[in-house]
Structure formats: structure tokens, C-alpha cells
A and B are shown apart, each in its own frame.
Chain A
Amino acid sequence: MAQKRIVKEYSELQKNPPLGMKISLPSEADMHQWQILIDGPKGSPYEGGVFTLQLSLPTEYPFKPPTLSFKTKIYHPNVTNDDKGSMCLGMLRADEWKPSSKIDAVLGFARRLLSEPQPDDAVEGGIAREFKENKKEFIKNAKAWTKQYAKK
């Protein structure tokens, strides 16, 4: 059943891709691994960059939440600054996930998070502190990383 729902959601997203996103399958044989390309939202320090994300759908989907990770390095309080680039907050947390949530909503959530970081729910404390106390410095750093890692 999960398989059928995933195929359906995938084809719907192919038909109507969310704004500023490209969705593809790295391997046609595996519907559980998606690759997402997100354009940095206008007005955010990530503008002008393209970020590669990996969306992994567990075999228990939709009863377990998908996991979302940044393959492109990003200077963001909610994304771990390691080679995993994982983010786990809001609707993606196991205790807040609802089986009726759609991947479309997950992607929208990720994009919104680029425009509005949530420092109170941060995984990178240093970046979160900077975001709260020295916004200018944060924007400067985020822009620099975007330029360095997320070039088109």
C-alpha cells in the first residue's frame, strides 16, 4: 500500500511541482529515495543557491515520517553541520508526524524553514545564538556558505 501511495504522490508532484523545486529519483528502481533540488528562497540569505536534499521514505511510510537531509552544506540553525546535514523538527519529528500529512507539505515545510529558521528548535546552538543575537553576522556567514557550496 505504501508503495502505491508513494507512486501517486510522486506523480502528482511531477505534474505540479512545488514552487522552486525539482524532484527526481536517483534510481528508478527505488521509490523510497527522492532527490530534491530547492532554490534558495528570495529575500533569504540562501537566495541564488541551489540546495540538494535527500528525502528518504521509510518502509513504514506513511505511518513513520520521512527523513529529510541536506546534501549541500548549509549555514542554518536547524540543519546539522556535518556530512549528514540532517534536520528533524516540527512535522518531521516522530511524535508530531501524522500519517495523513503529505510529502508536498513536508517539502513546503523545508522551504519555509529556509526563509524562517527556527532558532528555538535548533540543532546547531552556535548558529542559533548568532541568528538571535547578531543577525548581521549570521546573514553574512549564510551568504558566504551559499556562495561557496550551493552555486548553481
Chain B
Amino acid sequence: MATPPPSSPRRLSLLQADAALQRPQVNPVDLRSLEYVDPYDHNLMCAICHSPFVCPVRLECDHVFCQRCVNDAMSYQDRDSRVYIVSCPSCRRKIENRAIAPVPKILSHILDDLRVKCPLEFLGCPEVTARGDVQDHVDKYCAYAEVECSSESCLLTVLRKDLVKGGCLHRVVNCEDCERSFMEKDLEIHRLRHCEVVESSCPDCNVPVLLRDIKVHIERCPNAILLCNAAEYGCAFAARRETLDEHLNTCPLAKLVPFLRLQNERLEAHEAALKLLRHKNSILETSFSTIQETLSPSANLIDAPSSSATASDTGPFDSTAHHLLCLHESLREEVSRVSAAVSEVDAKASMMVMNESLRIKEDLSHANAAIGSMRMQLHWLMSARLQNQQRVAMVRAQSSGEGLTSSADAGSSSGSVELPVRRLSDSTRQDTKL
């Protein structure tokens, strides 16, 4: 939090101090830099930052992004275009309304349930927690989070796990071995990881090794006594590295190790499945018993009260079962009756459809024939008309030729035009009658 400039009034700084007291999140965890333990559904991934959504929001086009990613995208677009309208980073649809819609609560819940590593893992915190709880973990529980020094006069911070050491850990002390000076809180890390003098010895070969290198040495130490690969399955063999290699070639248990591992995995999977089934079963049992309770009075009415020699415990169960069987039987009869009726109706309907379609087919063929004859007539009429037109054209050409020589002939020539028309129409009528 930024400190107010010295010129600002004192009341403001008091208000800010109040706000800081109310919100204990002094170091808000950046949820976007967290490391996720399990693979997550790719639909939970923000298309902009490529990690699971943080504070997701929905745009008009129904695309979802982190609040901050959308803000970043919009500010970049603003800088470019200097227009108020921006577009969706996924589909480029214009966003008219910048008021951003919230997403369904269930999405936030799913996101909060994702398992993440503690952000202080690099300091050594092994915690894996739900993302929704990570802020709480860092604020209140993480042993590697920085807290105020227990000494009241000291303003520095220590790791929470070092608080129990008591006193101020910011006094300067010297490393016993290399004599360099450190704050007390950093001494342990120095001796374990960095000091170039402090020595330890290998438990197997008794050679002195720098403490900071001991892990690496033990992994490679030629004298280390190693257990057979199949130790967890009962082989008690332990020897130096080279002898062990020989043993591994002959040890039957070591050869079975991959198989046994697989078996173990399957066993675990089955156990998990069994647990689930048990849970389901118990739910079903309870619901069954409630059904029984609701049914048993009516079952008692139907069945004669315990004429058989059954125990009183199983009595109601038997009668209920019997009642259910009776119900089942009658329902089955009902069903068979209904199915018979249905098939009857089906047969009737298909007969009807057949008859109807036959009739329609006949009608269609009639219509086809009628259309055929009409087409013929049309054809004849058309050709007759064409011939007629040709004739008229010819006659007109003749008569106009004569008209040049004598105009008095015009009346007789117009009479000769009509004659072939009548003849032609007569002949077409005869043809259609045939």
C-alpha cells in the first residue's frame, strides 16, 4: 500500500490505516501466478492469460475472461483506436456495453476448488490447498510467510515458523564455521544450503562432506547401503550399489515389482470404487426403507397377517415384497393389454394408409393421362397457329405485290386470306377427334 504524500491531511492517513486494519490481506496472493497441482479442464482456461480464470466475467457475446485480462485487452484497444467501442478478444464481436456481466456462481466454486501449491513453495512450504483457501493459508497458517518480529522494538519480519524460537532474530551472529556474519533468522539456511565450511559426514562411507552437498553425495555415494527395489514387497536384501545390481538380476521379487505396483494401483482403484458403491448403496437402502415404510400399511391390508411361519422381522418385508410382486404382475398384464391394443390400432392405421395411397395413386395416373392428352392438344393448336401465321404472311406478301399494280384487287385478296384459315381449323378438329 502506498504511503500518503507528506502534504496530505492527517485524517486521510488515519482512514487508510483503518482500512488496512480491516483488510488483513497485506500481501494479496497473485492467483494468476499459482502452480496448479492437477490437470484442469481446458474450458476453465482464460483464452488470454492461459491459466484458470481469476475473477471471471462475461462479455455480451457470452465469452468469459478474467476481469483483469478483459481490462488489459480493453485498455490496449483504447490506446489503439481511440474509439469507445471495443471488441471481444475471442470472437472480435463489437462490445457495445462495457458493463461486464458476472458469471454463474458454480463457475467460481469450481475454480475455488482447484488444488494449487502454496505460493511460498520456493521457500519450502509443502502445502497444497484449494485455490479459494490459499489466501487464508498464507495469511494465517503458512510457516514460511513473513510475520512481524516478536520483539516489540523490532520492525523487521521473520518467517512464521521461526517465531517459536522466541526473541528478536535480527541480531547479527557469526556462523561458527566460516565466521561470516548473518542475522540469526538466516543462519539456519546458510548452514544447510550455502556455507562452504560446515562439514558433515556420509553415514555410509564416513568421508567428510560439506553439509550443503550431503544430499547429492548420498544419492551418488558408492558405499551407500541400498535396499533391494522389492524391499516394500518383502525382500530384505541390502548391499552396496554394485552388488545390488547383481542381486536385482536374480531377485524374483524385484522382477515382480512392476506387476505388483500395477496390482496395488488396481487394488486402490477398486477400493475407491467400492467405497463409492458402498456410499451409493447406503443411500439406496435408506430410500428403500422409506419406501417400505410408506408401503407397509397398504401391504398389510392386502396380505393376510403372517399365516406363514416367518419371523416377525422379515414378516413386513415379505408381505411388502408380495404386494410389490402383485402390483408388478397386474402392471405387466396391463402393459400386455395396452401393447395388444396398440398393435391393433397400428394395423388398422396401416390398412387405412394403404387404401388411401392406392386411391391417390389411381387418381394420379388419371391426372397424368389427362395432362398427356392436354399436352397433345396444345401441341396441335400451337402448330396449327404457326402454319396459319405463315400462310397469312405469305398471302399478305402476295396481295401487297398485287396492290402495287392495282389497288381495286385488295378486297378479293383479303377474302382469299380467310379461306385457308377455316380449312385448317377444320382439319385440326378432325385430328383431335381421332
8 Å CB contact of B73 from A5, A8, A63: A63
Q: Which residues of B contact A5 (CB under 8 A)?
A: 48-51
Chain A CB within 8 A of B245 CB: no
A100 in contact with B32 given A1-B72, A60-B76, A63-B72 (CB within 8 Å): no
- What is the chain A residue whose CB lies nearest that of B63? A100
| Min CB gap B267→A, angstroms | 31
Complex formed: what's the CA distance from A1 to B76 in Å? 14
A64 in contact with B92 given A4-B33, A9-B50 (CB within 8 Å): no
A4 in contact with B73 given A98-B92, A100-B90 (CB within 8 Å): no
Number of B residues whose C-beta is below 8 Å from A? 18
Chain A CB within 8 A of B295 CB: no
| Inter-subunit contact B89/A100 (CB<8 Å) | yes
Chain B CB within 8 A of A99 CB: yes
8 Å CB contact of B48 from A8, A64, A94, A100: A100
Q: Which residues of B contact A45 (CB under 8 A)?
A: none
Complex formed: what's the CA distance from A64 to B32 in Å? 20
A64 in contact with B76 given A98-B90, A98-B92, A99-B89 (CB within 8 Å): yes
Chain B CB within 8 A of A62 CB: yes
Chain A CB within 8 A of B69 CB: yes
Chain A CB within 8 A of B47 CB: yes
Q: Which residues of A contact B32 (CB under 8 A)?
A: 1, 4
Q: Which of the listed residues A8, A60, A98 has the most CB atoms from chain B within 10 Å of its own CB?
A: A98
- Selected A-B contacts with CB under 8 Å, 23 pairs: A1-B32, A1-B49, A1-B68, A4-B32, A4-B49, A5-B50, A5-B51, A8-B50, A60-B76, A62-B48, A63-B72, A63-B73, A63-B76, A63-B77, A63-B89, A64-B76, A94-B80, A98-B90, A98-B92, A99-B47, A99-B48, A99-B73, A99-B89
- What is the chain B residue whose CB lies nearest that of A99? B89
Complex formed: what's the CA distance from A88 to B220 in Å? 54
Q: Which residues of B contact A100 (CB under 8 A)?
A: 47-48, 89-90
- What is the chain B residue whose CB lies nearest that of A60? B76
Q: Which residues of B contact A60 (CB under 8 A)?
A: 76
A1 in contact with B90 given A8-B50, A63-B76, A99-B47 (CB within 8 Å): no
- What is the chain B residue whose CB lies nearest that of A5? B50
- What is the chain A residue whose CB lies nearest that of B76? A63
- What is the chain A residue whose CB lies nearest that of B72? A63
Main secondary structure of the interface of A (DSSP, over half): loop
| Min CB gap A61→B, angstroms | 10
Q: Which of A1-23 contact B (CB under 8 A)?
A: 1, 4-5, 8-9
User: What 3 A-B pairs have minimum CB-CB distances, sorted nearest first?
Assistant: A100-B47, A99-B89, A63-B76
Complex formed: what's the CA distance from A60 to B48 in Å? 12
- What is the chain A residue whose CB lies nearest that of B92? A98
Q: Which residues of B contact A4 (CB under 8 A)?
A: 32-33, 49-51
Complex formed: what's the CA distance from A116 to B361 in Å? 56
Q: Which residues of A contact B47 (CB under 8 A)?
A: 99-100
Q: Which residues of A contact B90 (CB under 8 A)?
A: 98-100
Q: Which residues of B contact A99 (CB under 8 A)?
A: 47-48, 73, 89-90
Interface flags for B69-101 (1: CB within 8 Å of A; 0: not) read 100110011001000000001111000000000
| Min CB gap A150→B, angstroms | 33
Complex formed: what's the CA distance from A62 to B89 in Å? 10
Q: Which residues of B contact A94 (CB under 8 A)?
A: 80
Q: Which residues of A contact B49 (CB under 8 A)?
A: 1, 4-5
Q: 13 extra interchain contacts, Cβ-Cβ under 8 A, other than A99-B73, A100-B47?
A: A1-B32, A1-B68, A4-B32, A4-B51, A5-B48, A8-B51, A63-B72, A63-B77, A98-B89, A98-B90, A99-B47, A99-B89, A99-B90
Q: Which of B30-47 contact A (CB under 8 A)?
A: 32-33, 47
Q: Which residues of A contact B91 (CB under 8 A)?
A: 98
Complex formed: what's the CA distance from A88 to B79 in Å? 22
Q: Which residues of A contact B48 (CB under 8 A)?
A: 5, 62, 99-100
Q: Which residues of B contact A64 (CB under 8 A)?
A: 76
| Min CB gap B260→A, angstroms | 30
| Min CB gap A94→B, angstroms | 8
Interface flags for B411-425 (1: CB within 8 Å of A; 0: not) read 000000000000000
Q: Which of A78-127 contact B (CB under 8 A)?
A: 94, 98-100
| Min CB gap A7→B, angstroms | 10
Complex formed: what's the CA distance from A64 to B49 in Å? 13
- What is the chain A residue whose CB lies nearest that of B74? A63
